Copies of this chain bind each other. A is one copy, B any other.
Amino acid sequence: MTDFAPSGYLGVLGGMGPGATADFYLKLISATVASTDQEHVATIIRSVPQIPDRSAAISKKAESPLPALSSGIRELISSGAKAIAIPCNTAHFWYEDLVAISTVPVFHIVDTVRERLETNVRTGPVGLLATAGTIEGKIYQNRLGGQSGYQVLVPEEEDQKKLVSPGIAAVKAGDLIAGADLLSKAARRLQERGARSAIMACTEIPIVLGPKSDVGMPLIDATDALARHCVEWWRTSSSSRVDDLHLSGATDSNS
């Protein structure tokens, strides 16, 4: 850290995948109320896609990404991060282990989704649209169900296989029409089964199911929820820091 940095950065443990990291950063920028560059969140993004595959580790007991994730957390903190966001739903499977080694707050993406639910959705079961890995890892079910008393509805196995997973794959392959069709069918199936809202817990889903889609219930974008939480953290924790940000007249006493 030097005189020319704000007194703390938001650290982003990214690269899982790179596209999800870029999506998060765009949402962070657009969630920020700013009229000049200088009012935006100071961010260190560590986008290292070489971290072992998270879903494979959960479902096939393949190599754990935990050592790589832990290294990432430590590197971000030593670079000056004062809080950390992880724009990858599946990586939250190892959340407790990461909090244990972190000396700064690590925001849990599910907690930020809960904030959006509390603001936007009054009652009823919450549907979950996500990859098989996120569902299998019970990342949302454990944290929303256990602590907060939400009833989390996951797609039936058949719907996950025939609608959600191929819908996500279609978006990844650039076929947005097929993706929108499959994913909105999946959302409507959840609605038929009682969901009053649904969480889009995978980067590809909000690309085709926006707030204006024809699904007749609120849809919460998990990446956007995480971004909004980070902006709020920056706004409230940095009010005392604003004067430092102008950096005027400073000289580099550390060099």
Contact = CB atoms under 8 A, between A and B. Distances in A.
Interface of A: 1-6, 9, 15-19, 21-22, 25-26, 28-29, 32, 36-53, 63, 67-68, 70-72, 74-75, 79-80, 245-252, 254-255
A contacts with B: majority SS:
loop
B22 A37 contact: no
A50 B38 contact: yes
Given A44-B46, A48-B5, A75-B2, A37 B25 contact: no
Pairs of residues from A and B, 8 with the lowest C-beta to C-beta distance, nearest first: A17-B37, A4-B68, A45-B45, A4-B71, A37-B49, A40-B49, A2-B71, A50-B245
Given A67-B250, A67-B251, A74-B255, 14 more contacts: A2-B74, A2-B75, A4-B51, A17-B40, A18-B43, A38-B53, A42-B47, A44-B45, A44-B47, A44-B79, A50-B245, A50-B246, A70-B252, A75-B80
Nearest to A78: B79
B40 A18 contact: yes
A37 B9 contact: no
A4 B70 CA distance: 9
A207 to B, nearest CB: 13
Given A71-B4, A71-B252, A29 B40 contact: no
Contacts of A36: 53
A141 B72 CA distance: 41
A67 B71 CA distance: 30
13 contacts: A4-B70, A9-B48, A15-B43, A18-B32, A19-B29, A21-B25, A37-B51, A37-B53, A43-B46, A44-B46, A70-B255, A74-B255, A75-B79
Given A38-B50, A43-B48, A75-B2, A18 B29 contact: yes
Contacts of A44: 44-47, 79
Nearest to A42: B48
Contacts of A2: 71, 74-75
A4 B29 CA distance: 29
B42 A50 contact: yes
B248 A63 contact: yes
Contacts of A71: 2-5, 252, 254-255
A13 to B, nearest CB: 12
Contacts of A250: 67
